Each structure stands twice: as C-alpha cells, then as structure tokens.
Amino acid sequence: MDTEKALQAKETGNKLLKEGKIAESIKHYQEAVKFDPQNPVYLANLSAALLSTRLAKTLSHGLRSGAIPPSDIEQNIEAIRTMENQRSKDAFENVQSWKLWSATRSNLALCAELALEDRIRLSKMPIFKSAPDPRLTYFTFGMDDIISLFCGWGPKFEDPIHLRSLSKEQFSQLAFLFGGAADSRHVYGTIIDLGSAHSKLPANQKKHVKVHMTTKTGKKDLVDFVLKANLDKALQWGLVWESKWYQDVNVFIPHGRLVEEGKHPGFDYYKEFATKKGPHKAKTSQIAATVRKSWKPNITTFDDQHKGYLEIALDDLAFVAQIAEFNDSRGLKINNPRAKREWPAFAYIMTFFSAVVDTIKNLKSQIKVEILCGEITSELTKMRLGTDRTRPAGFPRNFTRMWDYTHGTLSTALYMVPALQDNMPSAVTANCLFNTYVWKDDDEFCFNYTMLLPQDLERYLGTHTINKRALMDILTLSSTTVPRSLTSLVSRDELHAWLGRLLLSIISPGRSKPRPDLVKVPFNLVAFIQLLVELNWIGYPGQWLGDFLQAILNGTLQTNPDTYKGHPLRPVSGLNKITAPHRVRLDPWFAGLETILASTKHALLFAIQLPENFAATMPEDIGQF
C-alpha cells in the first residue's frame, strides 16, 4: 500500500476528468486503486469514470433492445447531454460511442414504429442464395413411413403424448407443425392417433382438448384441392373427346384461339376427331409420333440432360403398403372381407381415411387444420418477429412438436427451435434423406452447417440435443429456457471466434458438386443478421453482438480460420485448423450488407452505426429497378 502515490494518481485523474479526457483518467484511477485498494474513494472515482466511458454504449444498446424505455431517457436528458458534450476531448473509442448514441437517439420518439416496420422488412427478405444451377430438385413423393407426431417420430421412435398427464391449460394448447412438401401423410397419421387418445379420455376432459395443426403447402396442393372440390360437378360432354385425345396423343388442347393461330397440322385433325364418329387409329398414331419427335419437354419440369420423356421408376404400391402397416399397428380393420380380397389397395386407403374422417367428426371445432402458404423458415421468422399479419391472432405461434428438414442443423436451431412451446415437453425432429451417404458421420453433418459439434449447440445456441443421429435415425432438438444466464453461454471471445467462422462459411461455402454428392449450404447474409437477433434473445449481450457487426462494417474484423476453398464436405478437423488472427476483407459484400442494414437496422436488438461511405442509410435510399 502506498497512500501518497494513490493520492497523486487520483489528483491526476481528477484533472484529466475535468479536461474531458475520461479514458486517460481511468488509467490513473486504476493506479490509485492498485496503490490503495482498501480506500473506497478511489474505487468510487474509478466506477464513475468507467460509467462515463460506457454510458453511451449502454444507452444505445438498452434503448434498441427495449431494456431502457424512452421515458427514462427523456427524464434524464440534461444529465446525458452534459456528458455527451465532453466527448470531443476524449479518446477515439469513447467519441465513437457517443456518435453511436447520437444516431440512436435521433429516432427516440419513433423507435417502436421504426422497429416494427424494419422487422416486417427483415422477415420478408430472402434468406437463401440464388441457385447457380437453374434445375430444381423436387421430392413430390414422401420417403418416410407414416409418422404420427402425437405418438413420437415414427415406428422406431415412439414417444407418445399422454393426454391424462396434461393440465387443463395444456389440453387447449396442443399444436403441431408439418414443414415438408410431401408430409401430408404425417398430418393424417397424427389426426388418427389424436382421435384414438381422445376417445379414451373421461367426458369431463374431452371437452377441453383443442388441437391446431399447421401444414406447409404450395400452389400445386391448392390446385389439387380446387380440383377435388369440383369433382361432384357433371363432366361436360364436350370434354369427353379432349380426354380421349390426350390419352392417344399426349397433348393438351390449348385455347381455341391458339389452335387457330398455331396451325399445327394435328389440330386440324382434332376438329374432325371431336365432331365425327371418333379417332382414326393410323392418323392418331402418326400425330403421336410427330409429337414425340418434334416437341420438347418443359425444362422446368423435366430433366434437361436427357432426350424424350423420362419414366419414373417408383413402386406404385409402396405407399399403400405403408398405409397397411400403419393400419395394422393401430388396429384399424377392413370391415369388408371382399374388398380386402378383390381390391386391397383401395380397401386399406379407405380404412385409413375413414379413421381420419371419424376423428374430425368427433372433435368437430376442437381441431383446426391450417394450410401455411409460404416458405417455412420465412413464415416462422414472421411469427417470431410478430409480423405474420395474414394469420388470425388466435392461431399459435409456438408448437408442441414439429417435423421438418430445412437445410441442416443451423436452420433447425435458428428457425424451428425458437418456435417450440416452453410450457410442456416439446421438440423438433428431422432426418436427412437428400444426401445421406455423402456424410462421414453426424458430427460432420452438424459441423458443415453450424461450424459446431452437436455437444456444443447448447452452449452456443441454447439448443438441447436429444438425438444427434440425423443420418441413420433422426435429429431431435429441444429448446431451453431463454434468455439463458451468461454463465451458461460461451465467452465473448468464443462467440466472436465462432461467428467469424460461420460468416466465412456463408460467404465462401466451397465449390459444390453435382448430385448425388450435392451439399446445399444456401444461407445468405440475411440469415446471418437474423442469427444475431436470435442470439440476443438467447441471452448474449447486445454490446457483444453489436461490436462484432460493427467490426465488419468498419473493416476491422479479425478471424483465425482460413477461407475454405475445397468441396463441401468440410472435415471436422478443420475446427482445430487455425491461423494467426488476421483482418478479413469483406468489402465485396458491403453492398449486400448496406441494403440489408439500411432496411432493417431498427429491427436489431442492439445498436450499430452505419459507415459514412454507405450511400443508403434508410429504406427510401434504395431504388428498385
């Protein structure tokens, strides 16, 4: 202890503080505490000086996150202005902090309205890169066995919901989401098991059960629904010959005006075909041969690498067999022995859908089925940000169980897990049927999408891994209570190191291979910004996240992994291959970041300052052409 040196350091600190050199004064106050740690005066001086340097960031991030209401700012505005006026004399970092505060408070009166508008824009932005290969991959036929989310995740992964163990409140909150394009079978399976469990409840509990099912669909499904809705209407006789024409020639008849203008020789014959006694076999065969020789398939629905019409080599009865197995496992019997003997496929399907209809009739208004028209991750983002205005207010935004596969573990953790209910055991499950065999193991699968191993997901993303075996079994994740305590999350340095690796993996994912070795890493910078927002909800301080994003914008971001230039798959060993920290040149991506942040900066739960060389600082600055 040296009281004389402590006093001298304190006086020097006081002098610098009066001159507005707050950052320098802190060094002398720290010396005073070091020389005389027992004197509370020196600790108080140091605390006051530190408050002065960190107040601006605290105000900026607190106002943006909602932790500090605008009314508190207005009540203390004079004291804040006094400290703000000293910024020009202080160190560069503190001056920049006050500039950040100046930009943040400029919209003090409109912060809530601007945040809502920017959240809407953020939820509408595409999160996937444009595909360099224009060919699309369609899975119009589901590959899974019928899964009932009410009873688990399929025949091998039974985990039934025990209705009797639920509270009265939980009875009315059961909600299931089915995200796949060909997962309608799982909706029906869940309805059947729900009906079976409901029938076993006492009468005083049955009336409290309410179930909401949300299924993702597309335009092709809606067209199919419209078609089925019109099946009860009589077929016009004028269309009979058109049906026969298509069976023989494989050509649809366009609008009459196009027939007149197109002058294809076959259409002249069609007039005779439709008005006389019927087709002439030789003439019809000639037209069909001409079509096969001269007409080209639509490349958006056919493989453009092969000539002619391709055959689909699928077992037409495989799905019927799956239904039969499901029926047998649930004790659904075919009541008509003759039907089972003479037309078994129809009999099994009829029994299956009869059970679906019986459940719907019994539950009536207690069950709702919602068809969600849109890309599943985008729709869940809207629910998370509170911008899903097309859905009724009473529809659930959180779900009991979810089934989907959306581009790997990161997507599941970022978009699905936050949508799980927190008042009952809930989980989201997926599998990998797209490219299962290309992966070495589940660790490699998880690492390529998240730059993490499965056991690290909870520390970084607040996501609990129930089953990591996405390749041979299922990937099942559940949520944890958020916001999490800071002690249960990784440190600031660990967070920034991981975000740096992940950012580089998004902007430079490697050179893809063609099917069947294709690995899709589709996320763009919008998804990365949405991840930063989610991390703040998980429990990371806004200042940590804001500092990382600000380093990107200032061109000062340093990382230690090298940019990956090989083919996905990235080996897990890459997690330990680091170099000396080096600055990353990200200016080629600044145009994209400028567009994103100028449109959505108020949706962020932390404050950032856009660079002065950004031409756009608000949505109105961005032109659309």
Residue spans per domain, the chain: 3-106, 237-294
pLDDT 10s digits, 539-591: 999 989 999 999 999 999 999 887 888 887 888 988 888 888 889 999 899 99
- Specify the range with the lowest mean pLDDT, choosing from 25-39, 272-286, 298-312, 536-550: 298-312
Residue 15 structure tokens: 């002098």
pTM of the complete model beyond 0.75: yes
pLDDT given for residue 234 in this prediction: 54
Closest C-alpha among 238, 247, 248, 184 to residue 216: 184
| H or E element that contains 83 | helix 77-84
For residues 34-58, average pLDDT: 72
pLDDT given for residue 472 in this prediction: 84
In sequence order, what are the residues at sequence separation of 6 or more whose Cβ sits closer than 8 angstroms to the Cβ of residue 370?
Answer: 212, 213, 214, 215, 391, 395
Q: Is the pLDDT of residue 51 over 70?
A: no
pLDDT given for residue 286 in this prediction: 78
Q: Is the pLDDT of residue 536 over 80?
A: yes
Question: Sorting pLDDT into bands at 50, 70 and 90, what band is 209?
Answer: very high
Round to whole Å and give the CA distance between 150 and 173: 13
Identify whether the C-beta of residue 29 lies closer than 8 Å to the C-beta of residue 13.
yes
pLDDT given for residue 435 in this prediction: 84
Neighbours of 205 (CB within 10 A): 15
From the number of C-beta atoms within 10 Å of its C-beta (0-12, 13-18, 19+), residue 202 rates as exposed
At CB < 8 A and 24+ separation, what contacts does 236-244 make? 238/274, 241/273, 241/274, 242/274, 244/278, 244/279
DSSP-assigned letter for residue 606: S
Question: Sorting pLDDT into bands at 50, 70 and 90, what band is 364?
Answer: very high
Identify whether the C-beta of residue 429 lies closer than 8 Å to the C-beta of residue 474.
yes
From the number of C-beta atoms within 10 Å of its C-beta (0-12, 13-18, 19+), residue 306 rates as exposed
Residue 333 structure tokens: 């019997």
Identify whether the C-beta of residue 359 lies closer than 8 Å to the C-beta of residue 195.
yes
Question: Sorting pLDDT into bands at 50, 70 and 90, what band is 306?
Answer: low
For domain 3-106, say whether CATH 2.40.160 is its number. Answer: no
Q: What is the mean pLDDT of the chain?
A: 82
Question: Could you tell me how many residues make up the chain?
Answer: 625
Round to whole Å and give the CA distance between 450 and 66: 29
Q: Is the pLDDT of residue 446 over 90?
A: yes
Higher pLDDT, 276 or 295: 295
In sequence order, what are the residues at sequence separation of 6 or more whose Cβ sits closer than 8 angstroms to the Cβ of residue 546?
Answer: 57, 60, 61, 604, 606, 607, 608
The beta strand positions in 204-245, using DSSP E, are 211-217
590-615: buried (b, 16+ CB within 10 Å) or exposed (e) per residue? beebbbbbbbbbbbbbbbbbbeeebe
